[in-house]
């Protein structure tokens, strides 16, 4: 009988049961108040963070107009010293002529050579350095994949490459250059075919190119007219 009494739960009187539920309700109410309080704190912190971020963004916007990237030309003199200028037209005549010749050849090489691996880069450079009329003509020719197309994407594609080497360059009149070059077409597995071509390049120097364009065209040379013909044997 004593064993049965040990395993039997004792009854709970109503007063103790009421006190228990009151404690539970009190605990739950306290938890809700705490949660609401922390929720308000969270919103305050979020609001302060947003205000700080907006302030920082405003400060950055105010600073940005003060930041302007300007291309600089570094001139190495014969005695080893250097000088810097921000204006292409203020370069000494020899340096300006050398940069112009380099830019003209860069254009001819980008336009006349071809390799599938870097065709996009050459296409971008030739397009960037052309005025709208020359650019439109070049892009229409290069992107043409129809029957009879002479675009290297069709005639060469992934089966070979075209390389060019300058023979000579001369200025026939102001802002017009005559460039002679050898053009070698190499189709993989075949004997390379080399021919000589002459390109007439009309150009101008533009001072208002975007900074991103200056990376490929530091002198600001824009081709205004381009004609290339194969020399007679």
What is the C-alpha to C-alpha distance for residues 114 and 163, in angstroms, rounded to an integer? Answer: 7
Q: What burial letters (b/e) apply to 15-37, b meaning 16+ CB within 10 Å? A: eeeeeeeeeeeeeeeeeeeeeee
The structure's pTM equals: 0.64
Top pLDDT among 150 and 63 is at 150
Top pLDDT among 227 and 47 is at 227
- Among 34-43, 61-70, 85-94, 145-154, name the one with the lowest average pLDDT: 61-70
pLDDT at residue 172 greater than cutoff 60? yes
Six-digit token string for 146: 């129809």
Helix orientation angle between 132-143 and 119-128, rounded to the nearest 10 degrees: 160
Q: How confident is the model at residue 215 (pLDDT cuts 50, 70, 90)?
A: confident
Burial class (CB in 10 A: 0-12, 13-18, 19+), 182: middle
pLDDT at residue 14 greater than cutoff 50? yes
Task: From 204, 16, 14, 216, select the one nearest 118 (Cα to Cα).
Answer: 216
Q: How confident is the model at residue 50 (pLDDT cuts 50, 70, 90)?
A: low
Which pLDDT score is estimated for 67? 46
What is the C-alpha to C-alpha distance for residues 182 and 102, in angstroms, rounded to an integer? Answer: 17
Chain-centroid distance of CA 181 in Å reads 31
Six-digit token string for 92: 């000494």
pLDDT at residue 17 greater than cutoff 90? no
Top pLDDT among 140 and 72 is at 140
């Amino acid at each position: 009988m004593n064993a049965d009494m040990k395993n039997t739960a004792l009854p709970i009187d109503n007063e103790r049961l009421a006190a228990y539920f009151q404690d539970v309700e009190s605990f739950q109410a306290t938890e809700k108040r705490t949660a609401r309080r922390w929720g308000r704190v969270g919103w305050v912190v979020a609001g302060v963070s947003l205000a700080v971020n907006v302030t920082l963004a405003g400060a950055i916007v105010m600073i940005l107009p003060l930041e302007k990237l300007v291309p600089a030309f570094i001139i190495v003199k014969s005695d080893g010293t250097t000088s810097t200028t921000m204006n292409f037209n203020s370069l000494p005549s020899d340096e300006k002529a050398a940069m112009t010749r380099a830019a003209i050849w860069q254009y001819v090489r980008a336009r006349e050579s071809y390799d599938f691996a870097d065709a996009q880069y050459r296409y971008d450079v030739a397009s960037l350095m052309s005025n709208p009329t020359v650019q439109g003509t070049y892009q229409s020719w290069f992107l043409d994949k129809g029957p009879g197309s002479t675009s290297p994407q069709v005639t060469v594609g992934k089966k070979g490459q075209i390389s060019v080497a300058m023979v000579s360059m001369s200025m026939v009149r102001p802002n017009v250059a005559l460039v002679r070059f050898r053009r070698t077409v190499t189709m993989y597995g075949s004997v390379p075919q080399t021919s000589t071509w002459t390109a007439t390049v009309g150009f101008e120097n533009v001072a208002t190119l975007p900074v991103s364009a200056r990376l490929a065209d530091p002198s600001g040379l824009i081709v205004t007219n381009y004609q290339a013909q194969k020399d007679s044997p």
